[in-house]
Amino acid sequence: MTVERLLKDEATEEKGDRARMASFVGAMAIADLVKTTLGPKGMDKILQSTGRGHNVTVTNDGATILKSLHIDNPAAKVLIAPDISKVQDDEVGDGTTSVVVLAGELLREAEKLVNKKIHPMTIIAGYRLAAECARNALLQKAKDNKQDPDKFKSDLMKIAMTTLSSKILSQDKEQFAKLAVDAVLRLNGSTNLESIHIIKKAGGSLKDSFLDEGFILDKKIGIGQPKHIENAKILVANTAMDTDKVKIYGARVRVDSMAKVAEIEGAEKEKMREKVQKIIAHGVNCFVNRQLIYNFPEELFADAGILAIEHADFEGIERLALVTGGEIASTFDNPESVKLGHCKLIEEIMIGEDKLIHFSGVEMGQACTIVLRGASSHVLDEAERSLHDALCVLSQTVNDSRVLLGGGWPEMVMAKEVDDLARKTPGKKSHAVEAFSHALQAIPTIIADNAGLDSAELISQLRAEHHNDTTNAGIDIISGGVGDMEKLGISESFKVKQGVLLSATEAAEMILRVDEIITCAPRKRENRM
């Protein structure tokens, strides 16, 4: 009996081993793409957009690279798009490259096992056992110095320097680590990074970057307005301050003399004057607007001694409202219901060639601004991404203060425990557990390869070192041998490592379960001629 074709003409399906192969190959290709960016000696990628202007981004940030890729392979999409690398970036800010690389290695090992005729479900069961064992190994080795503020701060500095050492800021990592730690400690345990404002100003070198207490708005103060205000009351608004013209599309007003035109203009001015009076009635001495403020209202504000700032970008005013404790208003009829922002001093400052407005002594004490300087916009963008990663990791570490050593040490600790488990596990599962241990060792291998070191030699030395339970051995990229991670001050956040381990295992598991890929027929364009 013949069955008619089930799917539409152009739809395709792949089954069984072919589907599995396609998913493995796609996921491994993605892992190979980003693995050269891993570690302190990782290389950068240039990403060129296809849009107008063909914008170029130079980066080695795993999340940025993966976000910019347009990919056809469905399994590869599981590793990217809104999936694991993005979750890792949002949750803990760092470790995006490691997640994808580890997931890729787990699938590479799984492929060998599938070829040996071991069922994917058996492999998944083994991987689950191994992941649990690896997590427990990390838990036992994690240190927590939350009770000792000095030690904790030095832990944070080490974590920040380790995070930054694989980025563009690695040359000045001590300075930037200090910036990031100071900014995060001001948050008092909050993970909301909104109150840390990063401003990029081209010019100078990265060394000239600094942390400023308070809030800096990238705007100039208008002509004839006060340049210095103490005990400011700030009204943050999003309202149209052009003379309220007849805003009906295509409206026309017919008049029979010029005097009537003057009357209309007079009425418009009067309406604007009323609006300005309502704003002044709030008792403010600084008015920040999201939209433009035209000459006439600006003149009225200047006469009233009010500093009017126009066209502040939306992110700027949202953040300004947040840090000064105000709310964004758009109507001004009920002054008592509008919440004003407060700060001790508003003044104009210069950074490089540009004038900016500085709000100090703001209501939200933990607010601060990091001003980045650098040679070009590409350098500044990459510096901002690097700093953002460090800030995310630190803000998470302040809450979950457990710390591990870095430099491939956690992977080797996990691999050793998982290997021991493999020897105790009966049945086919033990092959999968052992494969998990091989995949974990791939991360230090890649770090060594990227630095041009002999990875086989180094990993075998590390494995021997790790038979001693109290060892701190990891890869010392600078000397090119095995080093003591504690003495070198290389630390990582427990939360990042745990995130990498669990996300990568789950993603690999998801791709392993696939046994059929169905691609829908493309929608045909209708010929509307």
pLDDT of res. 124: 93
Decide which of 366 and 126 is more confident.
126
371-418 tens-digit pLDDT:
888 888 888 888 888 888 888 888 888 888 888 888 888 889 899 999
CA 220 to chain centre: 29
Which whole number is the average pLDDT over 282-309? 81
- Whole-number Cα distances in Å, 131 to 293, 464, 472: 59, 22, 22
Give the 3-state secondary structure of residue 21: helix
- Please, are residues 38 and 98 in contact by the beta-carbon 8 Å criterion? yes
Burial pattern 253-268, b for ≥16 Cβ within 10 A else e, equals eeeeeeeeeeeeeeeb
Q: Is the pLDDT of residue 288 over 60?
A: yes
Give the 3-state secondary structure of residue 143: strand
Question: Which of the residues are catalytic?
Answer: 61, 96-97, 389
- Please, are residues 324 and 343 in contact by the beta-carbon 8 Å criterion? yes
Strand (E) or helix (H) holding 102: helix 96-115
Query: To which residue do tokens 């919440």 refer?
Result: 339
Which whole number is the average pLDDT over 457-470? 87
- Write the DSSP symbol of residue 453: -
206-229 tens-digit pLDDT:
888 888 887 887 787 777 777 888
151 vs 437: CA distance, rounded Å: 32
355 vs 348: CA distance, rounded Å: 7
Helices 96-115 and 429-450, axial angle in degrees (round to 10): 140
pLDDT of res. 369: 84
Q: Is the pLDDT of residue 286 over 70?
A: yes
Residue closest to 494 by CA, chosen among 155, 232, 196, 238? 155
pLDDT of res. 304: 81
pLDDT of res. 244: 57
